[in-house]
């Protein structure tokens, strides 16, 4: 592990102070918090999923409706990675901060449920979840657990136990609206918080990318931890350009143990 620079350590201390002083801290996470768990992100040059595939061709609602087999073939390696993934130290750090009362909610763009697996309780999933599937014909909803194994191992497309039509993972594809309840909850948290910490998100996908602005407009502090710069860095109190799996545990350690 590369030693942290003096400036990074100073920023970690400042971030910890802001968290300790806050009354309503909210976390916004993106794909970068799950890449240390082996799940690829979407936009990194050369390694991101969209550097290899055209999203509208493989991951749009229209593509799923017309060619569900093509979607499931494309999605299978990613589903396997999510199925096998374990929470990393960044997830664990946030779960501990929540358990100790320093975090009120986690807003996530991820569909991998790693926050929940690490023990976080208040998780607002903006892009849906891999935990359930819904029938495209009769809208019967099922738990994914009993279907995902056969799909990942054998490529078996999941079908509705009631009408035998294709089951769609409850993830948000291109061309779909965000879950209304989740969006309302996320806006409420962004407007109520006095501190927002962005972890592992490039903040390139609207409308979620606008949540930090909603927080700032109401006087909240802002911390950004990401490998690459974001549009909001110039407005942040603290910016740390580093791996969240290194930085978040260090911040949590300072918050909890001084």
Q: What is the pLDDT of residues 21-46, one digit of tens each?
A: 999 999 999 999 999 999 987 554 44
Structure confidence at residue 107 (pLDDT): 98
Residue-wise pLDDT tens digits, 190-209? 999 999 999 999 999 889 99
Structure confidence at residue 227 (pLDDT): 93
Q: Do the beta carbons of residue 196 and residue 222 sit within 8 Å?
A: yes
Q: Please state the domain extents for the chain.
A: 1-39+87-127+177-258, 47-84+129-171
Supply the pTM of this predicted model: 0.90
127 as an active site residue: the answer is yes
66-82 mean pLDDT:
89
DSSP state of 110: -
CA distance 203 to 224: 10
DSSP state of 179: P
Band of residue 250 on the pLDDT scale cut at 50, 70, 90:
very high
Sheet containing 167-171: order of strands: 141-143, 128-135, 167-171
1-39+87-127+177-258 and 47-84+129-171, same CATH topology: no
CA distance 50 to 239: 26
User: Of these residues, 24, 127, 140, 221, which one is catalytic?
Assistant: 127
Structure confidence at residue 63 (pLDDT): 87
Give, in order, the Cα–Cα distances in Å from 244 to each of 80, 199, 205, 247. 23, 7, 19, 5
| Correct CATH for 1-39+87-127+177-258 of 1.10.1200.10, 2.40.30.110, 3.30.360.10, 3.40.50.1220 | 3.40.50.1220
119-125 mean pLDDT:
98
Q: Which CATH class is domain 47-84+129-171?
A: alpha beta
Structure confidence at residue 165 (pLDDT): 95
């Amino acid at each position: 592990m590369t030693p942290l620079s003096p400036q990074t350590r100073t920023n970690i201390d400042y971030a910890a102070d802001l968290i300790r002083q806050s009354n309503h801290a909210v976390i916004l996470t993106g794909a970068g918090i799950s890449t240390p768990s082996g799940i690829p992100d979407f936009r990194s040059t050369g390694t991101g999923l969209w550097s290899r595939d055209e999203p509208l061709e493989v991951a749009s609602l229209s593509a799923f409706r017309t060619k569900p087999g093509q979607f499931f073939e494309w999605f299978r390696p990613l589903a396997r990675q999510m199925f096998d993934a374990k929470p990393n130290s960044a997830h664990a750090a946030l779960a501990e901060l929540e358990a100790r009362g320093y975090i009120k909610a986690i807003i996530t763009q991820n569909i991998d449920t790693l926050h929940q697996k690490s023990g976080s309780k208040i998780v607002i999933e903006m892009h849906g979840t891999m935990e359930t599937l819904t029938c495209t014909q009769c809208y019967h909803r099922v738990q994914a657990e009993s279907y995902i194994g056969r799909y990942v191992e054998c490529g078996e497309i999941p079908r509705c136990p009631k009408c035998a039509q294709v089951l769609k993972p409850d993830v948000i594809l291109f061309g779909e609206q965000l879950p209304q309840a989740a969006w309302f909850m996320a806006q409420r948290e962004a407007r109520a918080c006095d501190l927002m910490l962005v972890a592992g998100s490039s903040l390139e996908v609207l409308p979620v990318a606008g949540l930090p602005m909603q927080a700032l407009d109401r006087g909240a502090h802002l911390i950004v931890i990401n490998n690459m710069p974001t549009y909001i860095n110039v407005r942040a109190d603290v910016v740390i350009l580093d791996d969240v799996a290194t930085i978040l545990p260090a911040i949590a350690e300072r918050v909890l143990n001084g």
